[in-house]
A = this chain, B = another copy of it.
């Protein structure tokens, strides 16, 4: 097993832009393993995995968006919209929960269509289009129940986030890993994925090379919306409730994870492997600071310093 996976691992690690952050992650883990008793335990590692599911799933969609040189500020709100649609359909309308989940994903994907069309068809900069969508999706999410939370889902729903199959893998973590894997395969091994790099590198060159830039752009926002919706469902399972205020300012966390992972905001470079590193850095950092018992305000300062260091290290390494 180890032998076979080594080249793939190497390919993962060699991904441009993520080496510095990866070193940062390793150092961080090493430090925490020494400084705390509880960090380097199976149980805590599994906790960390649990804790990054929502961020991880959204970060994959965000990676696509940022790769083509765009940005998606709406993910936090779309997450809330998705979970509210799911909760409303299942608990107020009596729709079976699986079907309600599908509808929630469709609604979330639809927000991506709107953002994408605003960007490609109306020439609205991605920042503004998704900022507008952020406000709209949050408003609609709130209107569904007039700001109230919804509780009372079937027991199996919450259990998806709790039961660790085979002793370690909850369904929600499994979903995240599948999303990581699919995203990685897509970017590395399909022409569609390569097209995103071309678009991000130079949209005009991509267009002249016969790539349908508009369609790809809309597609990318749809995927980002869809994954935000999926993250909403996962979060609902974790919390066993849905509330329209969920996901507030998650867009910044998500973008930060992607950028820390070496995907450039100007588009064209980066990838999922880096994003996984970025997500882990944020997850481990938060977890570790809690385990160290660092006071909340000091945590903010430390998080800022570590983020700056991780990215500066990569920039230095390149020189």
Interface residues of chain A, those whose CB is within 8 Å of chain B, are 73, 118, 122-125, 127-129, 131-140, 142-143, 146-147, 249, 252, 255-256, 259-260, 264-265, 296-305, 307-308, 311-312, 315-316, 318-319
Contact = CB atoms under 8 A, between A and B. Distances in A.
Given A131-B252, A132-B308, A135-B307, A125 B301 contact: no
A125 B311 contact: yes
A132 B305 contact: yes
Contacts of A146: 297
Given A138-B300, A139-B297, A297-B139, A128 B311 contact: yes
Contacts of A307: 128, 131-132, 135
A66 to B, nearest CB: 10
A252 B73 contact: yes
B129 A308 contact: yes
A304 B134 contact: yes
Contacts of A300: 135-136, 138-139, 142
Contacts of A137: 304
Given A134-B304, A135-B307, A124 B265 contact: no
Contact of A139 (B138, B299, B312): B299
